[in-house]
Chain A
Amino acid sequence: AQSVTQLDSQVPVFEEAPVELRCNYSSSVSVYLFWYVQYPNQGLQLLLKYLSGSTLVKGINGFEAEFNKSQTSFHLRKPSVHISDTAEYFCAVSETEAGGTSYGKLTFGQGTILTVHP
């Protein structure tokens, strides 16, 4: 079974500052990794995903994340945030076809609320 830990429940930051949202995962097999964003009272929108290949993944809205297998991390970063980035962010993991038995079901972290102040 896999698990996901988002290390910060809330991250306040000023507009135009850089931000990093941290995510660590645990799994005994290889994984796929995802970041989703949720605006208030809305569903989740996929920001980016890591399936294979380059460990630096670029997503929508200027976000990127880096897969670090040795540290089992998938931290989300943005060099300069906007007020409109205020939202809750979820890291998720699924086992790959190669070794998993969970049929690709997603396990989510508890979420990190990013608040961008003017």
Chain B
Amino acid sequence: SQTIHQWPATLVQPVGSPLSLECTVEGTSNPNLYWYRQAAGRGLQLLFYSVGIGQISSEVPQNLSASRPQDRQFILSSKKLLLSDSGFYLCAWSGGFYNEQFFGPGTRLTVL
């Protein structure tokens, strides 16, 4: 069966510090991968998606970037965090664009 992992589970960072969140998927190959941000009362916002190694599409202009160095690894990064980057970050995978997405446990990021 397929599983998806995210780490860390929680993170508290000062403004201006760098960020690296990691997501890995097991039990499948060549998945589509997604990063979402969830702010309180605002639903889920798609940040990035990837259809293969090194292929990243950005949905919204922002302070964040994403990379996919391996088939089942997806990384969310920032060089300098802003207060507005605080939120709950969710990684998801799907077997194709028109399949349902499966979500990881999430990372709670607080920027102070």
**A108 vs B44: C-alpha distance when bound (angstroms):** 6
Q: How far is the CB of A60 from chain B (nearest CB, A)?
A: 13
A106-B103 contact given A41-B108, A111-B43, CB 8 Å threshold = no
**Cβ-defined contact, B100 with A42, below 8 A:** no
Q: A45-B103, A46-B102 are in contact. Are A104 and B41 (CB under 8 A)?
A: no
Residue of A nearest to B42 (CB): A110
Known: A41-B106, A110-B42. A46 touches B49 (CB 8 A): no
Binding site for B on A (CB under 8 A): 9, 32, 34, 36, 41-46, 49, 90, 94, 96-97, 103-106, 108-111
Please report the C-alpha to C-alpha distance between residue A77 and residue B60 in the assembled complex, in whole angstroms.
Answer: 34
Q: How long is the Cα–Cα vector from A104 to B96 in the complex, in angstroms?
A: 8
A104-B98 CB under 8 A given contacts A109-B43, A110-B41: yes
A44 with B43: CB separation less than 8 A: no
* Residue B87 lies at the interface, judged by CB distance under 8 Å to chain A: no
In the complex formed, the residue of B with least CB distance to A104 is: B97
Task: Tell me which of A49, A103, A105 has the highest count of chain B C-beta atoms within 10 A of its own C-beta.
Answer: A105
Q: Closest 3 CB pairs between A and B?
A: A104-B97, A43-B103, A104-B98
